[in-house]
Amino acid sequence: MEDLRRDVTVPMVFMTHANVVFSYGMDWFLSRAAEVGMSGLILPDVPFEEKEEFATTCRKYGLELVPLIAPTSVGAH
């Protein structure tokens, strides 16, 4: 991953599921993502109203949490 990041200048994000992040440990996963040059994280299975748990830890490592919002999401209408 580090080799790819040297050649790619646009922001890159990981898209995975919350259970993957939890299985590795949120701090380990997000710190490693930051180390390899990721800019953020997309977790499509995390409801918008529950995103802050991940957003806080993402900010700790300089990452953005990119929320996916559907028309049925709380506060999206």
If you average pLDDT over every residue of the chain, what do you get?
87
Crossing angle for the helix pair 52-60 and 26-35, to the nearest 10 degrees: 50
Residue 47: left if φ>0, alpha if ψ -120 to 50, beta else—which one?
beta
pLDDT digits (tens, 9 = 90+) for 43-60: 999 888 889 999 999 999
| 1 pLDDT above the threshold of 60 | no
pTM of full prediction above 0.95: no
In this structure, which amino acid lies at residue 73? S
pLDDT of residue 41: 96
